[in-house]
A and B are shown apart, each in its own frame.
Chain A
Amino acid sequence: MTVDQALTDRFLERASAKGLVDVAVTTMDSPVGTLLLMATPKGLVRIAFESENRDEVLGEIAMHISPRILEAPRRLDPVRRELDKYFEGRLRDFDVPLDWSLVGDFARKVLRRTARIPYGSVASYGEVALDVGTPRGARAVGNALGSNPIPLIVPCHRVVRTGGAIGGYGGGLPRKRLLLDLEAG
């Protein structure tokens, strides 16, 4: 049991106004299940599928970014709007700012390259590896994609295996299939 909503809202409002909310968090429903969204003042930093343990995800964010994490749905409205449109098939390119602080140098290269794969098309692990300058690094690319903290918006589901096999997905293969089908129209 907690205090009434008006009191909580006012606290959030004042904390936000004073710049004390380092990480805003909220959830949204989607065709791939409930999504946990997290943003810093720099931008969207993390999206977690419901297959991940919520407390663990938040605990990691607390450790790696800041423990000043509060539920602040409004700060994530722009992200939610874009995702809603995407799932309705009305948006192809995401435009929300991203915060890459959870991503190391190599993975960042891989994910930035992945973010340029157009809606509705796919690239192979090998192609991405080649483009980031490690022609033999398909496996490393797979690992980098597997640790993608911002799935959907950084479309790691668009990377598949050469020859048409679907490859892996951090959120589970059914989700990857659903997303590829959605984009195929």
Chain B
Amino acid sequence: MQVNTVKSKTLPPFQFVFDEHAQTVLRFLNGAVGLSEAEDCFQETMLSALRAYPRLGDASNLRGWLLTIARRKAIDAHRARARRPIPVADPDLSVGVDPQPDTDDGLWDQVRGLPAKQRKAVVLRFAGDKSYPEIAATMSVTQDSARQNVHEGLKKLRKELR
């Protein structure tokens, strides 16, 4: 009898992944797209993750994997809100996510509190990893204005987090 148990990967039950990381994903999305849209983005993120899960080759950074999906969903939501579909390159999946995992507590809550334009610009810049020309295109503003919004947003965050 042949035993086919040569498996290089052992994925934990998805329920464990959900229990461990749902809070982080939701908090990120609250900051990235605002409370009203965060729930939908959260559902989309978790459903995409569940669909792809059995094919995931490497379970060593499930948090980063989920946040990468969440970031894509957040960008989709921003684009949908802008109504005009503008082609933007997919985020670079090889980019590591948040080298200091749990030190961002509260930061995204502060981001959520920013005025809409600043929030959008900051999220696209730092969660979406977009360049200023891309941000300008997505938000239908000039590059100077995109830069200005990121700058003002950061200034406010620095003040509030001090």
Contact = CB atoms under 8 A, between A and B. Distances in A.
Interface of B is mostly: helix
B13 A61 contact: yes
Contacts of B47: 11, 14-15, 18, 20
A89 interface: no
B7 A63 contact: yes
Interface stretch (B38-46, B87-95, B138-146, B147-155): B38-46
A150 interface: no
Interface residues on B, range: 20 to 34
Interface stretch (A43-51, A68-76, A94-102): A68-76
Contact of A62 (B13, B19, B22, B23): B13
Interface size class of A (residues with CB under 8 A): 20 to 34
B43 A67 contact: no
B10 to A, nearest CB: 6
Contact of B15 (A10, A18, A70): A70
Contacts, number: 69
Interface stretch (A1-9, A121-129, A165-173): A1-9
A67 B26 CA distance: 22
B12 interface: yes
Contact of B50 (A1, A8, A20, A62): A20
Contacts of A71: 15
Given A7-B39, A59-B12, A62-B11, A1 B23 contact: yes
Interface string A154-182: 00000000000000000000000000000
Contacts of B7: 63
17 contacts: A2-B18, A3-B22, A11-B42, A15-B47, A20-B51, A25-B15, A58-B16, A59-B10, A59-B12, A62-B13, A63-B10, A67-B11, A67-B14, A67-B53, A69-B13, A69-B14, A70-B50
Interface of B: 5, 7, 10-16, 18-19, 22-23, 26, 39, 42-43, 46-47, 50-51, 53-54
> Which 7 A-B pairs have CB atoms at the shortest separation, nearest pair first?
A69-B13, A67-B11, A3-B22, A58-B13, A20-B50, A62-B13, A70-B15
